[in-house]
Structure 1
């Protein structure tokens, strides 16, 4: 999986943790098991993952 590879190359385990939260949100879309607090936590982590990936892309565009 690309996130696993990227986390390994960057030595950034936080990518794995953030992606796990995104997977939980995806599962919740189909099964609706998260309460508002759990959903909000994972939503903020999903946004953190997006920002982290944007930073990575922007750093590598200029190289």
Structure 2
């Protein structure tokens, strides 16, 4: 795991809450449990994910969480 990513998940909940969404049209998001609401999965597969859409137009540094910059 990249250093900046680890530091992001150690941030206060209020910091992470700014990025948490299931809206995949956003360029930088924090999400977890992609299959939590899937009836075909017998148990939740827990995983926190910081996702950045990098191509074809990467986000500017100010769009990224401070811990990742």
Say whether the fold is shared (TM-score over 0.5).
no
TM-score range, shorter-chain basis? under 0.3
**Bigger relative CO (Cα 8 Å, ≥ 6 apart):** 2
Taking structure 2 as the reference length, the TM-score comes to 0.25
Taking structure 1 as the reference length, the TM-score comes to 0.26
- Give 1 or 2: higher strand fraction: 2
- Give 1 or 2: higher helix fraction: 1
